[in-house]
Amino acid sequence: MKYLINTPYISNLEKKYVLEVLNKGWLSINGDNTKIFEKKFNNYLGTKYTVAVQSGTAALHTALKALGIKKWR
């Protein structure tokens, strides 16, 4: 017996975007889609700077560095 907690839903539009990224070979922070996302998110937040990262850990590390927090001990 299976109990599905979270069934993923991927639309055709999302599939199109993934294929576009794979075909262009830009699966990184320098890709067109990443730049578009950062700009739209920046406008949405009304901030001067935004940066997209690949994981929650990278986001926390980036935030700590931006705040000038140094290694403890």
Which residues, 6 or more positions from 70, have their beta carbon under 8 angstroms from its beta carbon?
Answer: none
Token pair, residue 66, equals: 């931006």
Calpha distance 56→62 (Å, rounded):
10
Q: Provide the residue-wise pLDDT of the chain in tens; the chain has 73 residues.
A: 777 788 888 899 999 988 988 888 776 777 788 888 899 999 999 998 888 988 999 999 999 999 999 887 7
Furthest CA-CA distance within the chain: 51
Give the predicted TM-score (pTM) of the model: 0.62
Question: Phi-psi bin for 70: left (phi > 0), alpha (psi -120 to 50), beta?
Answer: beta
